[in-house]
Structure 1
Amino acid sequence: MPHSRDTIDIWSVEGRFQHLVYSPKGGIEGVLIDTDGVTTQFVFDRHDEAAAAAFAGLRPGQALVIEGAEQGPSPKGDAAHTVYRFERLDSVDGQAPEAASASQEIAGTVVRLNYARHGEANGVVLDTGDFVHTKPDGLARLGLKIGDKVRAEGRTQPLATGGGQVVEAVRVNGRRVAQAEAA
């Protein structure tokens, strides 16, 4: 006799990114999207850093297609909206997630320097709350100071505090951050 299998319905949901959902310890445990005026939540498996990274750098309003399995009722009470267990990010603004999040750009005015654990300046914090990480040698080469206008390009992810993003800068104000490799 064949074995019975539990089947899980995976739904593909389209909507607009609203914001990340944080865990009590400050990690990213899911996202909220707006699906035609209805709030929909996707939750990640615990310690799923890859899922959290897939949403790093997204801006509110971006069009998403996310796949997930609808969660059953919680013993803790009724949900305020539909909740899905996250399976996969299918697209961002109509593109594969890797292409959509390969590089982001942030801009603002330098309000302070940031320092590495050993005390050397390794980037700048902007008036937007974003942190531009340049590494100490990159910062020295760029010569950034408080009050400078900055436009930085690179991979981004949300800051743990929930306010702003960190960009691993590749270019700042059109200049490459890393020194060119010697041939």
Structure 2
Amino acid sequence: MPRPQHPPAHDGDVWSVEGRFQHLVYSPRGGVEGLLIDTDGIATQFVVDPHDAASVGQLLGLQAGQALAVEGRKTPPSPKGEGEHVVYHFERLAEVDGEEPAAPQDAQVRGKVVRFNFARHGAPNGVVLDSGDFVHTRPDGLARLGLHIGDAVHAEGAAQPLATGGGRVIEARRINGQPLAAHG
């Protein structure tokens, strides 16, 4: 079945596609893997890295039928065959119901360290507090801070909901008064 095409606007490699939010797309392990929008009757999928908390955080809270402008990069053809619709790599949510989405809110959290979190390559990259919040420090930041289980933490930084709910991910700029290097 040929893929339906539609004329999204584009700037270089980044395309902006407008449509109505249909639903999130889940990975086989239950994480958020993207979203599906309807563009004048044509399904369009945007995929995210499920480990990219900032991108996934932009998708949480969307409601079916909301008007969206989504920016992305076209994906190359899949070795598994042609899909049923156009697929883009998600870059950012540009508009929700005609408005620019709110930037991640700055937050301050306090709590005690109950466990460490680990990056995909196995290095500890932050701490989970008894509040349920995950404070992301990157491995070098955590090593410099020397935190231990049970330590009190006061963290400041941009916050977004965790994909699992019940807490937030904090991109830490300061922990216990100590500045962390900017995440880039």
Counterpart Cα distance in 1 of 2:50 and 2:163: 19
Could you say if the C-alpha distance between residues 73 and 8 of structure 1 is closer, same or farther in structure 2, counting changes exceeding 3 Å? farther
Find the partner of 1:20 among 15, 20, 24. 24
Could you say if the C-alpha distance between residues 41 and 25 of structure 1 is closer, same or farther in structure 2, counting changes exceeding 3 Å? same
Find the partner of 1:75 among 76, 79, 86. 79
Question: Cα deviations across residues 30-84 of structure 1 (Å, max 9, x unaligned)?
Answer: 0000001000000013511111100111100001001111111100111110000
Cα displacement (A) at 1:159: 6.8
Q: Which residue in 1 is equivalent to 2:13?
A: 9
Asked if residue 39 in structure 1 is aligned to residue 43 in structure 2, the reply is yes
Could you say if the C-alpha distance between residues 73 and 86 of structure 1 is closer, same or farther in structure 2, counting changes exceeding 3 Å? same
Asked if residue 53 in structure 1 is aligned to residue 70 in structure 2, the reply is no
Letter in 2 for 1:15: G
3-state SS in 2 of match to 1:52: helix
Question: Cα deviations across residues 133-179 of structure 1 (Å, max 9, x unaligned)?
Answer: xx8xxxxxxxxxxxxxxxxxxx996975xxxx7699xxxxxxxxxxx
Q: Given that residues 57 and 157 in structure 1 are in contact (C-alpha distance below 8 angstroms), is that contact kept between their aligned partners in structure 2? A: no
RMSD, aligned α-carbons: 2.9
Asked if residue 90 in structure 1 is aligned to residue 97 in structure 2, the reply is no
Q: Given that residues 40 and 82 in structure 1 are in contact (C-alpha distance below 8 angstroms), is that contact kept between their aligned partners in structure 2? A: yes
Letter in 1 for 2:16: S
* Residue pairs, 1:136-175, within 5 angstroms: 160=164
Counterpart Cα distance in 2 of 1:51 and 1:35: 21
Counterpart Cα distance in 1 of 2:63 and 2:30: 19
3-state SS in 2 of match to 1:67: strand
Q: Given that residues 57 and 156 in structure 1 are in contact (C-alpha distance below 8 angstroms), is that contact kept between their aligned partners in structure 2? A: no
Could you say if the C-alpha distance between residues 69 and 159 of structure 1 is closer, same or farther in structure 2, counting changes exceeding 3 Å? closer
Q: Which residue in 1 is equivalent to 2:33?
A: 29
Identity of aligned residues (%): 55
Unaligned runs of 5+ in 1: 1-6, 103-134, 136-154, 169-183
